Structure 1
């Protein structure tokens, strides 16, 4: 009896059979595989949502910064009725020296500010661009104007004015664009006489009257209370970034272009003219001074790769198109 019990107990302690082990392993692999699939799916969903958030944030940033410039297009600081004198030497063909307020260019038209090419900062051919002029910051009141000395004395002492800065002075008669020859911070005096070096040498006359008469002076005295501010001239375009991709760039006059938003692969711009009922391409605009709104369309790619449903297209990046309408404040009653 004891021998029989010993044999039964020995059989019970013999462990699992090979079949039982294989079944257990298969069940374990199924559970692990299922858990891994859930983790991968959650990770991919997170990356996709993160990519969509990045696209929306990029669009908001681009539209907000572009709107700040576009809304200021043509602003002089005074109601000058479009009467702009410009004593900058027009024989120097720099894109920002002629007053135009706003001008758009289609994808194959050169804008004079950013050249087409494949190198860093070059404009991408086939993408629209926009040149905008206005005022950079708030104006400063004029205390007095000594016409014979070509000196504007200001009411306050800004520290940012320097020789070569391009400024605009205005009142309700007209506005005038000129380059600063020198600035005396102690006396708060801006000298714009003909001469100097660099950009300070760009004045062809010291007469700020309207219309401009170069090289002969058309003298005009601005009264106390007139406003002086730095001229803003910018070019918005899609260009090649330092990583070989595309970005939205903003170029200011003589400064290198700044990368504003990465991943912008295309930009289309259409314009609404006063009295019109539809937005038109740049070639259809008959009078840029009558443009009251700009429709900006941006195509933006996600920074991360392999997050779209088709990894073979655009390296798996998400791509979305966004549009925004921006109204020019000074042209809408």
Structure 2
């Protein structure tokens, strides 16, 4: 029998079957790749949300903490130079159209807050504080129980007992001795008085008050959380930022956070209100935080003209202020 090859029809059928098989394999590969990109984008968004809520919620929980009580009796002898952190407020929120004093509106740099996004200012103390051994009123000094590297000259400090708290600036720190002269010549903003009684009275002797042993001394913490432009449009362009008292520049906390909306519980009704509807910030006991996050990689989902196809999710968390729990 003579050998024979494939006919043209048989070759064409074979090629067609091959194309079908290869096309199916490519379809499976592309589907798996797209599924991987979606899962990776979702994981990225969820991880970013966890990080953002963990760090932001930590500051919210500590808002208004003086270390001794929560009655709102806080004296403040700092010279008023209009800094965003100088007045004691504990917590202050701002709607998307309200300026917060710490950062200006704009989209040119991380020093600016994106219009339409909420922001929040928070104050408290850093760490557990240091125990007072002796308060010398005439010398305007505190002696603490042990030397520490946590306190430096020009630090903004808070001293408290169960009567009230007072904010002042250290003009010198040596070993375990903190002085706070009533002058602005050596440090800025300086103190208007060395009398740390409540209410505040500037001048000398001011409102004289002696803090007893075992009173607490700690550094004041103040932070502003906001949404800013990170200068990386290829990754989405926005991030969650934190500006701290004493820092030279804001810190980029989490990339991909495009919006932050805040609501506050400030009365016994339990209703959460926008910042513009809060009448008494000292009464705020909880904050609802809603963050919108987008994946860094584009073209993950359908509709590439919408957010360049980035995966977008909203997350909401309610945070209670520890020192204002009923």
TM-score interval w.r.t. the shorter chain? Answer: over 0.9
CA contact 2:195–2:209 (8 Å) conserved in 1:
yes
> Residues of 1 paired with 2:302 and 2:268: CA distance?
45
> Residues of 1 paired with 2:223 and 2:184: CA distance?
25
Where 1:260 maps in the other structure, the secondary structure is strand
Q: Residue 103 in 1 paired to residue 92 in 2? A: yes
Q: Residue 53 in 1 paired to residue 13 in 2? A: no
> Residues of 1 paired with 2:14 and 2:82: CA distance?
82
Shift in alpha-carbon separation, 1:201–1:104, aligned structure 2, 3 A: closer
2:254 matched residue in structure 1: 261
Structure-to-structure mapping, 1:239-258, within 5 angstroms: 239-244=228-233, 245-255=237-247, 256-258=249-251
| Deviation at residue 15 of structure 1 after TM alignment | 2.9
Shift in alpha-carbon separation, 1:285–1:52, aligned structure 2, 3 A: same
| Deviation at residue 196 of structure 1 after TM alignment | 5.8
1:265-306 deviations in whole A, cap 9, x for unaligned?
111111111312311111111111111111111111111111
Shift in alpha-carbon separation, 1:201–1:105, aligned structure 2, 3 A: closer
CA contact 1:80–1:171 (8 Å) conserved in 2:
no
CA contact 1:297–1:321 (8 Å) conserved in 2:
yes
TM-score, normalised relative to structure 2: 0.94
Where 2:302 maps in the other structure, the secondary structure is coil
Structure 1 gaps, min length 5:
1-7
Where 1:51 maps in the other structure, the secondary structure is helix
CA contact 1:106–1:283 (8 Å) conserved in 2:
yes
2:195 matched residue in structure 1: 207
CA contact 2:70–2:323 (8 Å) conserved in 1:
no
Q: What value does the CA root-mean-square deviation take over the aligned residues? A: 1.4
| Deviation at residue 174 of structure 1 after TM alignment | 0.8
- Pick the aligned partner of 2:57 from 67, 70, 73: 67
1:108-130 deviations in whole A, cap 9, x for unaligned?
11000011012111100111111
> Residues of 2 paired with 1:109 and 1:260: CA distance?
22
CA contact 1:80–1:170 (8 Å) conserved in 2:
no
1:219-277 deviations in whole A, cap 9, x for unaligned?
21111100011101111111111314111111112421111111111111111113123
Q: Residue 278 in 1 paired to residue 271 in 2? A: yes
> Residues of 2 paired with 1:264 and 1:224: CA distance?
46
> Residues of 2 paired with 1:171 and 1:150: CA distance?
17
Count the aligned residue pairs: 320
Shift in alpha-carbon separation, 1:65–1:143, aligned structure 2, 3 A: same
Structure 2 gaps, min length 5:
none
TM-score, normalised relative to structure 1: 0.92
Q: Which has the larger radius of gyration?
A: 1
| Deviation at residue 218 of structure 1 after TM alignment | 1.8
1:135 matched residue in structure 2: 125
1:167 matched residue in structure 2: 157
| Deviation at residue 19 of structure 1 after TM alignment | 2.8
